[in-house]
Amino acid sequence: MYQTTYHRASSVDEAVSLFGKSSEAKFLAGGQTLLPVMKQRLASPSDVIDLGKIKELQGVELSGDVLTIKAATTYYDIMTNADVKKAIPAIAHLTSVLGDPAVRYRGTIGGSIANNDPAADFPAALLALGATVKTNKRSIAAEDFFKGLFTTALEDGEIITAVSFPVPAKAGYEKMRHPASRFALTGVFVAQTKSGEVRVAATGASQSGVMRVPAIEAALKANWSPSAIDSVSISASNLLADIHGTAEYRANLVKVMAQRAVTAAG
């Protein structure tokens, strides 16, 4: 790792001001992605500004039909939170298959979506549930937030403060885990909103990061059952292909994971 200067911010305002004073700062939350990337010398921020101890970024709130998870809440704290388990158990399940126990103690929802890894789990949940990303400056709809591989709508120095999820009627998430990295080879989040809209998002599949899957949405809108997806055809063009799986394999995984997710959602 190259030299850097570590700062611990005690508030969002302080973090923003520290960012403004640095030449090439990065925000650090759980560090489960940023630190490995810095160790590989793929990132060399002049300063790292730790958001992990900021109280206003911690915790979960359930208010009516909206579940709000503050940005620096760890996966473990999300997975074990009673409101999460009650309101959107699919999110508790998603965090339980994310990384390993030690990673879940440190990694945060804000870090996951700010990094926007094409195989990360949370982007699929945000997109399928129609979540809203709250920052220190504005609210951004999930559709407008994810902009492709490792790219988001965040501006320099903008900090995610929370994610608000509308509580769905039904939701499920299933993924084919890479056995070593535990990232999603492909993961699919399915949701039926309380107004009857069906939204399906896949991660780990597309070359442009997390994506909606309109063909499966239409099939499930007509008939909410795993068998409704049997006849759907998913094109392999623009899907990821690497040593772990071809684009055709991932196209099939989108269907299979969607079917399993519908079964899990009930």
Partner 1 sequence: MSTVKLTVNGKAVAVEVEDRTLLVHLLRDHLNLTGTHVGCDTSQCGACVVHLDGRAVKSCTMLAGQADGASVTTIEGIAKGDELHPMQAAFRDNHGLQCGYCTPGMIMSAIDIVQRHGGQLDEGTVRQELEGNICRCTGYHNIVKAVLDAAGRMKVSQAAE
Using H for helix, E for strand and C for coil, what is the string for 200-264? EEEECCECCCCEECHHHHHHHHHCCCHHHHCCCCCCCCCECCECCECHHHHHHHHHHHHHHHHHH
- Rounded Cα gap, residues 42 and 263, in angstroms: 40
75 or 189, CB closer to partner 1? 75
In this chain, which of 25, 27, 50, 215 binds partner 1, going by CB under 8 A? 50
Would you give the binding string for partner 1 spanning residues 60-99, x where CB under 8 A is met? ----------------x----------------------x
Measure the CA–CA gap between 14 and 33, rounded to whole angstroms.
23
Under the binding rule (CB under 8 A), the answer on residue 28 touching partner 1 is yes
Considering the rule CB under 8 A, would residue 37 count as an interface residue with partner 1? no
Among 21, 39, 86, 194, binds partner 1 (CB under 8 A): 39
Q: Which position among 42, 100, 237, 266 is part of the footprint of partner 1 (CB under 8 A)?
A: 100
Tell whether residue 118 is a contact of partner 1 (CB under 8 A).
no
Question: Which residue in 26, 27, 32, 257 binds partner 1 (CB under 8 A)?
Answer: 32
| Residues with Cβ within 8 Å of residue 244, at least 6 apart in sequence | 178, 185
User: Is the Cβ–Cβ distance between 260 and 187 less than 8 Å?
Assistant: no
Asked if 4 interacts with partner 1 (CB under 8 A), we say yes
> Is the Cβ–Cβ distance between 238 and 212 less than 8 Å?
no
Residues near partner 1 (CB under 8 A) are: 1-6, 8, 28, 31-32, 35-36, 38-39, 48, 50, 52, 76, 99-103, 105-106, 180-182
